[in-house]
């Protein structure tokens, strides 16, 4: 899909490679990891993600809250992004919520995703209280992204999310177990279905009282005690 009009989004310093030895702050890891989850979930959920080497990348969502969350997270990292919306469809009209950004493939975002994945999915060991809080915040962020941008459906009243790749499925399973919520994982036809066994605890934790959910840092502190 082509973009109408000029795109007022400029590349930032994030497009430059980061030093290999750079240590990412926890707040950067949390924001970048959730951005990565939103992009991954958009591919099989409420929208799509298109990258062009010659122009700014675009992400399209079926839910306004997903687009608003992505713009807010990019803003936290100092990345310029613009959101808009347009009507689509012929017989059945619907609204597409689009985010345009020149830095969605920035090295910082990629490293944040990898670091968040590592912290969630590596075997348990000794962790400092700060590491425990960040891990809990990452778990909440993963499910918030899945519910805002993913292919969410209810089976017998229970929450279920369908994703296309095993890494995203593993993140959701690990995040749910970390939050004390039992889930099941089934795969078929190149898709993975992560289904909550019972209750709506994950929905309440991830979305909170508003569309963007609770602040990751505060949520992590509460879950970690």
- pLDDT tens digits, residue range 187-199? 876 688 898 887 6
Residue 1 lies in a domain: no
DSSP codes joined into one string, 179-221: TT--EEEEEETTEEEEEESS-SHHHHHHHTTSTT-S-HHHHHH
How many structural domains comprise the chain? 1
Structure-derived torsion over alpha carbons of residues 53, 57, 60, 65, reported in degrees to the nearest 10: 160
pLDDT of residue 206: 74
Element holding 60 (H helix, E strand):
strand 57-61
Q: Quick one: pLDDT band at residue 160, thresholds 50, 70, 90?
A: confident
Quote the pTM value: 0.77
Residue 87 lies in a domain: yes
Provide the CATH number for the domain around residue 183: 3.10.28
Domain that holds residue 218: 13-224
Residue 31 lies in a domain: yes
Q: What angle do CA 52, 144, 181 make, to 5 degrees?
A: 135
Residues 6+ apart with CB under 8 A from 221: 133
């Amino acid at each position: 899909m082509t973009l109408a009009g000029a795109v007022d989004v400029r590349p930032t310093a994030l497009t430059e490679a980061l030093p290999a030895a750079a240590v990412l702050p926890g707040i950067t890891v949390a924001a970048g990891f959730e951005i990565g989850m939103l992009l991954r979930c958009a591919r099989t959920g409420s929208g799509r993600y298109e990258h062009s080497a010659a122009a700014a990348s675009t992400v399209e969502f079926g839910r306004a809250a997903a687009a608003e969350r992505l713009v807010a997270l990019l803003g936290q990292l100092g990345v310029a992004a613009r959101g808009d919306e347009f009507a689509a469809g012929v017989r059945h009209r619907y609204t597409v919520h689009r985010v345009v950004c020149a830095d969605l493939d920035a090295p910082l975002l990629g490293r944040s995703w990898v670091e968040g994945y590592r912290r969630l999915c590596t075997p348990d060991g000794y962790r400092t209280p700060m590491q425990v809080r960040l891990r809990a915040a990452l778990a909440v962020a993963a499910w918030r992204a899945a519910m805002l941008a993913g292919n969410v459906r209810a089976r017998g009243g229970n929450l279920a999310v369908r994703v296309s790749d095993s890494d995203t499925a593993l993140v959701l399973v690990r995040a749910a177990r970390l939050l004390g919520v039992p889930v099941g994982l089934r795969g078929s036809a190149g898709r993975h279905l992560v289904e909550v066994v019972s209750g709506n605890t994950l929905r309440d934790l991830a979305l909170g009282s508003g569309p963007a959910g609770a602040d990751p840092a505060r949520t992590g502190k509460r879950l970690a005690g």
